[in-house]
Amino acid sequence: MARILDPTADSIAQAAAAIRAGRTVVLPTETVYGLGADATDDRAVAAIFAAKERPRFNPLIVHVPDAAAAQRHVQWTSLAEKLAAAFWPGPLTLVLQRRPDCRLSLLVSAGLDTAAIRVPRHPLAQSLLRAADRPIAAPSANRSGSISPTRPEHVVQSLGDAVDIVLDGGPCLIGLESTVIDARREVPVVLRPGGITREDIVRIAGAVQDGGMGGPKHSPGMLESHYAPSLPLRLNATEVNELEGLIAFGPMPLQGAGLTINLSFTGNLAEAAAGLFATMRTLDRPGLERIAVMPIPDTGLGEAINDRLKRAAAAR
Ligand code: AMP
Ligand code: MG
């Protein structure tokens, strides 16, 4: 059964020892909680897939403490340099060519010749990476296809028996997964919208291309059924009834739902992103038949929020 450990020097040392011994550890990042293991150890990485019951073809993001560490595993590009300088540490993942001498397990790349790599900002993730002195592969710490955890108790609900150590870093500040960018060429290709907005990427790189959805060769992890609560989800609701839970947004929430949670009364998208997954979990309860969602603007972080909502709605 999972043990939730307060962040102390001792618990970080325990977690680092577990990583070095080839075991899995749940670590907080600023995006969501990750189920981490030594990314250079095939058996440790295989244990992540087993715990998540995740399809093998879905590659994993590798976490490293800084850009210099990233460059030991992947072929650096001038675009990677620009994006890393602007957004690392932070919620941006770069997909790059594996180096010929790359020691990352082939399992993290799921058979591709690329690896997805990120420098997290969360201080506990940073401490663990430095103490373990290993690159850590870490997908979200939930069973495959269900909602990503943004608090330690979500991890226990979803993976309770399958994990041992959960480092408690409190609620995740961003609450949405990282933006995944293919940075192999001059123009960045967005494989998955996330915590860094399209506008931010364009500001640094000048342009951006879409590449994610429908491109299994490029982004095998973009399964339709992801982030799914067990209740059906209905988007862009303009009315609501008492059998529905309502995800509201903005100063004028619809009236009449069985239960309403407002992601942000002031219409703040960062606040909405941070609370999104916890809200889906809270509304996913017996007594309700459906979850209705008010329209959310598609600008800035709204793009990633709407991406997750669409996939939760498309799940069945
Ligand atoms: P998760 O670990 O659950 O946050 O999901 C990882 C995301 O990164 C998925 O959308 C993957 O498709 C994407 N990803 C990881 N590695 C690669 C790669 N080598 N090429 C393309 N996309 C990747
Ligand atoms: Mg996930």
pLDDT tens string 81-102: 999 999 999 999 999 999 999 9
Domain co-membership, 7 together with 105: yes
Q: Find the mean pLDDT for residues 229-247.
A: 97
Q: How many domains does the chain have?
A: 2
Report the chain's mean pLDDT, rounded to a whole number.
93
Domain co-membership, 193 together with 294: no
Residue nearest to atom 9 of ligand 1 (CA): 221
Residue nearest to atom 12 of ligand 1 (CA): 221
pLDDT value of residue 58: 84
pLDDT value of residue 121: 98
> Are 223 and 58 within 8 A, CB to CB?
yes
> How many other C-beta atoms lie within 10 A of the C-beta of residue 253?
17
Residue 62 falls inside a structural domain: yes
Domain co-membership, 123 together with 193: yes
Domain co-membership, 198 together with 249: no
pLDDT value of residue 314: 87
Distances (CA, A) of 196 to 22, 88, 145: 31, 11, 23
| Ligand 1 nearest-atom number relative to CA 115 | 19
Q: Is any ligand 1 atom within 6 A of the Cβ of residue 102? A: no
Q: Is any ligand 1 atom within 6 A of the Cβ of residue 285? A: no
Q: Is the pLDDT of residue 223 over 60?
A: no
Question: Could you tell me the distance, in angstroms and rounded to a whole number, from the CA of residue 72 to the centre of ligand 1?
Answer: 19
Instruction: Find the domain containing 271 and state its range.
Output: 233-313
Judged by its nearest atom, the ligand closest to the C-alpha of residue 61 is 1
Higher-confidence position of 113 and 212: 113
Question: Could you tell me the distance, in angstroms and rounded to a whole number, from the CA of residue 221 to the centre of ligand 2?
Answer: 8
Stated pTM of the model: 0.91
- Residue after which a domain boundary falls, among 160, 178, 210: 210
Q: Find the mean pLDDT for residues 29-51.
A: 95
Residue nearest to atom 17 of ligand 1 (CA): 116
Query: Is the bond preceding 229 in cis, omega lying within 30 degrees of 0?
Result: no
Q: Is any ligand 1 atom within 6 A of the Cβ of residue 61? A: yes
Give the model confidence (pLDDT) of 158-213 as tens digits. 998 889 999 999 999 999 999 999 999 999 999 999 999 999 999 999 999 998 54
Give the model confidence (pLDDT) of 283-299 as tens digits. 999 999 999 999 999 99
- Residue after which a domain boundary falls, among 175, 210, 245: 210
pLDDT value of residue 135: 98
Q: Is the pLDDT of residue 9 over 90?
A: yes
Residue 227 falls inside a structural domain: no
Residues 57, 63, 67, CA angle at the centre, nearest 5°?
Answer: 125
